[in-house]
Structures are given as C-alpha cells and as structure tokens.
Amino acid sequence: MAAKLIKGAEVAAQIREELKKEVDELIAKHNVTPGLVTILVGEDPASISYVTAKQKTSHELGFYSIQDNQEPDITEDALLKLIDKYNKDPKIHGILIQLPLPKHIDSNKVLLAIDPNKDVDAFHPINVGRILIGNYVFLPCTPAGCQELINRAYGDPKGKEVVVVGRSNIVGKPMVAIMIQKKAGANSTVTCVHTGTPKDKIIEHCRRADILIVAAGVPKYIQGDWVKEGACVIDVGVNRIGISEKTGKAILAGDVDFDAVSQKAGFITPVPGGVGPMTITMLMKNTVLAAKAAAGLIKI
Ligand code: GUN
C-alpha cells in the first residue's frame, strides 16, 4: 500500500481526551455538566448502532446523557412535542434526532423545531445559513470531522482542489460550505459532483482532486484510476455489504475501492476507523460548546 493511513480513531481519541479535561473543568469550576439527548425513532439497525456509540462516548466524557427511544409509528405531532420538552429542559444542551426518520414524518419540520442553540448536529436552517456566511458556532459533525482529518494528516488545504462526491444535506453540501470559507483550515477551490453529473465528468473531476471527499452512498464506487497520484482521499461511506459468518457482525465497505485507491493515493481513511469516530467526537465537541454557551461562557 502506497498511501498513508489516516487513523481517524486515533485522532478522535486524542480530541476526546482534550474534551474530557474541558468537561471536568466545566463541572468543577462552573457546575455545568454538558447534557445530550439522542432521539431514535424506530429500530433501524444502523441507526441503533450509531446512537449507541454516541451515548457510550457521551457517558465516557461525563455528560448528562439520555437515550430517548420512540416507537416507529410515533406521530409527527408527538415528536414535535418531545422536542419542545427538551428545548425547555435546562439540563439538556444538545438535541440529536437520528436520521433518517420514518416516511410519515417530515424531517425538515422536525429539524426546524429544535432550538438552534441546542442543534448540535447543525442541521437547523439557521445554523446551515450561519455556516454558509462563515459566522457559526456549530459545524455539522461528519464534515467537521473530515476537515479535521484533512488538516491533521494532509496539511493546509488552502488553494487545493477539493472535489466532493455527493450533495446530501448531512455531508456533501456542508462539506462544500466549510471548505470554501476564507478561514484557516479551508480556503480551498471546491467542486461538487453528484447524481446529476455525467459519469465521465465525475471521473474527470475526481482525477484532478488534491483532496477527494466521498459521500456517495455506493459501496466501492471510487476506482483506483479515478484518483490522482498522492491525493488525500476521505471516505465517508459506511455500507453494510454482508454479515460475517464468523462474528455475526455486519461487514462494512466504504464508498472507495480501498485496495485499488490506496495504491494511488498519498493519504486515505479506512472504513471502519476513519471518519466514523470523528463524527461522534465532533458531536461531543458541539455539545460542550452548547453547554458553555448556555452558561454564558461563550457567545452564540
Ligand atoms: N444519520 C446519518 N448521519 C447522521 C448525523 O450526522 N446526524 C444525525 N442526526 N443523523 C444521521
């Protein structure tokens, strides 16, 4: 393998250690315990595993933490009332609703109901707008984790050609918004390719990327010959491609053909152990920020 492995799990552990100190100090000096509620609607196995990991980390950091499980047939109205309850709860600083929600619930309406100051996912339109204009407190967790990995492993992305594959509201669009900012750790030239881009053009754009960020939702989509020699490849994909007979656990694959691309790239994130642990860590960072803001220690 030519590429250097970007060990997201190690970077995440390091950031969490710093966060733990911050939490201990918040509790000891200011009597503020960061509070996080993660709301899960239904029983999607991937969503269960994500919220379980989020809860585990928030407990490890010493947060006040609630896992709120709701039946898949909860009405939109009842879910909005639940959010209102947590909006008013002073012990809760961060509210996360695991997506996707069941089809009978309008996700946009639900995300709009979260107090923007408790919106630790940064999905509320106010926070989305603030990110675009570059005046934000919270960054969405997955793109923020990608940015952190790029800066720590590859170096300053200023002036580099960044190509984002995918235009979801959770990853692709905010990733573009983050990397185009005239700020340290960003300031890149950014192109976004997506399902509206002809395949030959997707390949063309990928091949000129210094930094390729892939959130396509298609297992092993990016091929070895689509990647520039020495490029930094960030694989956001988590696809369940089977069940291991040995362990009974899901077999995961990213959106990048790791074996082929790692021969070409200079830096690459593995799946699992790359972006995933960073996403959770950024959620914890946002919750600490929200708690500090609620205590008047920083301004939102
Ligand atoms: N589903 C997939 N990714 C995410 C995320 O970052 N936040 C939430 N709330 N749901 C998700």
Q: Give 99 Cα–ligand 1 centroid separation in angstroms.
A: 5
Distance from Cα 146 to the centre of ligand 1, integer Å: 15
* Whether residue 268 has its Cβ less than 6 Å from ligand 1: no
| Average pLDDT value for residue range 236-247 | 95
pLDDT value, residue 300: 81
Tell me the sheet residues that pair with 67. 38
pLDDT at 130: 98
Using the predicted structure, report yes or no on whether residue 3 has a pLDDT greater than 80. Answer: yes
Active-site annotation, residues: 54, 98, 121
Compute the distance between CA of residue 94 and CA of residue 20 in angstroms, rounded to an integer. Answer: 17
* Homologous superfamily of the 30-124 domain (CATH): Leucine Dehydrogenase, chain A, domain 1 (3.40.50.10860)
Backbone φ and ψ for 214, nearest 5 degrees, come out as -115, 115
Domain 141-275: give its CATH code. 3.40.50.720
Mutate to test the pocket of ligand 1, among 40, 49, 50, 120 (most ligand atoms within 8 A of CB): 50
Strands 239-243 and 250-253: antiparallel
pLDDT value for 38: 98
Distances (CA, A) of 300 to 43, 58, 84, 94, 96: 34, 22, 20, 14, 18
CA of 170 to the centre of ligand 1 (A): 7
Q: Which of 290, 289, 233, 259 is nearest to 118 (CA)?
A: 290
Confidence band for 247, pLDDT divided at 50, 70 and 90: very high
Alpha-carbon separation of residue 296 from 58, 65, 84 (angstroms): 22, 21, 22
Least confident of 60-74, 145-159, 196-210, 240-254: 240-254
Q: Whose CA is nearest to atom 2 of ligand 1?
A: 99
* pLDDT mean over 142-162: 98
Name the residue ranges covered by the structural domains of the chain: 30-124, 141-275
End-to-end CA, the chain: 45
Structure confidence by residue, pLDDT tens digits, 77-125: 999 999 999 999 999 999 999 999 999 999 999 999 999 999 999 999 9
CA 144 to chain centre: 6
Do residues 241 and 219 touch, judged by C-beta distance below 8 A? yes
CA angle centred on 138, ends 133 and 140, rounded to 5°? 90
Instruction: Tell me the per-residue pLDDT of 19-58, one tens digit each, with 9 for 90 and over.
Output: 999 999 999 999 999 999 999 999 999 999 999 999 999 9
What residues contact 110, with CB distance under 8 A and at least 6 apart? 76, 79, 80, 83, 97, 101
Whether this prediction's pTM lies above 0.85 is answered by yes
Common-topology check for domains 30-124 and 141-275: yes
Q: Which 3 state secondary structure label does DSSP give 40? A: strand
Question: Contact 41/48 with Cβ under 8 angstroms?
Answer: no
